[in-house]
Structure 1
């Protein structure tokens, strides 16, 4: 039974990393799977390991939530631009996914963050074209950093949970 549970957890960890690539909650998926495995086979995975994954999940969400908005704000954008970057990220990822799965999701989210920030800066905040473009660039950089950090955290979480299975 331990081998079955361990194999399922390894599969969940790998799927979780894949989900992050698609801008889906892969780290949360790993955390939920690890909690289920800890309930099913407590001798295989400890609750301490589940708690570590929970912390990694929370950190990834905080980074994901604030990165684009912080990029906008860092380059002088308004609150409207920051909110636009968050909405644009979601819309861009949704639009980009069917066009070119995986890469379309990533590129769509990045472009969407920039477009959302630009549109909101220009229309709601009534900034100049130049200021709107600057804020848009900040949103693009912030979103790119967010994706890289979240993927790194997903790989870290997967390596941690797979390692925890064997310790």
Structure 2
């Protein structure tokens, strides 16, 4: 049964990492589900208050990293709140409209279109802002990937 239990836990962790590039998948919920499955299958005794406190802090960091990286990427290249919102919508919609490439094209197109429509930004500046949104998204994925890896490593240290 150990193989089945650990397979389920690992699958949840893998889905969490897939959520890095498909933001519609709530990565943190899959990580938490893996922790809970471990507790149900084996024991919650290994999860101390310190473990849960650290994991909650990492969850807060995950949410903050996503928003802050996108905001910095757009703002650094001269974008506005409209560009941030357009980029965010593009991140969510892009992968479904344009499979594979939509993960990069979505935030770019979203930021460009938002800046053009809302602020009537010239095309050159709008493209620069779109590029900034892609930089923000990629840095967000990297940051969240590192945080998720640390959460899982800490989990593994706690249980072994």
Normalised by the size of structure 1, how large is the TM-score? 0.79
CA deviations over 1:113-154 (Å, ceiling 9, x no partner): 111010011111101111111111110110111111111211
Which deviates the most, 40-49 or 142-151? 40-49
State the alpha-carbon separation in 2 of the partners of residues 82 and 19 from structure 1: 20
Q: Please point out which of 147, 155, 160 is paired with 2:149.
A: 155
Which residue number in structure 1 is paired with residue 114 of structure 2?
120
Which residue number in structure 2 is paired with residue 110 of structure 1?
104
Which residue number in structure 2 is paired with residue 76 of structure 1?
78
CA deviations over 1:56-94 (Å, ceiling 9, x no partner): 122111111232222111111122111111111111133
Residue correspondence of structure 1 range 51-90 to structure 2 within 5 A? 51-90=53-92
The answer to whether the 8 A contact 2:20-2:145 is kept is yes
Q: Which runs of 5+ in 1 are unaligned?
A: none
Which residue number in structure 1 is paired with residue 30 of structure 2?
29
Evaluate the alpha carbon distance shift between residue 82 and residue 29 of structure 1 in structure 2; reply closer, same or farther with a 3 A threshold: same
Q: Please point out which of 123, 126, 129 is paired with 1:132.
A: 126
Q: How many residues align?
A: 157
Evaluate the alpha carbon distance shift between residue 15 and residue 90 of structure 1 in structure 2; reply closer, same or farther with a 3 A threshold: closer
State the alpha-carbon separation in 2 of the partners of residues 132 and 115 from structure 1: 9
State the alpha-carbon separation in 1 of the partners of residues 27 and 127 from structure 2: 32
Q: Which runs of 5+ in 2 are unaligned?
A: none
State the alpha-carbon separation in 1 of the partners of residues 129 and 45 from structure 2: 51
TM-align CA RMSD? 2.5
Normalised by the size of structure 2, how large is the TM-score? 0.82
SS in structure 1 opposite 2:20? Answer: helix
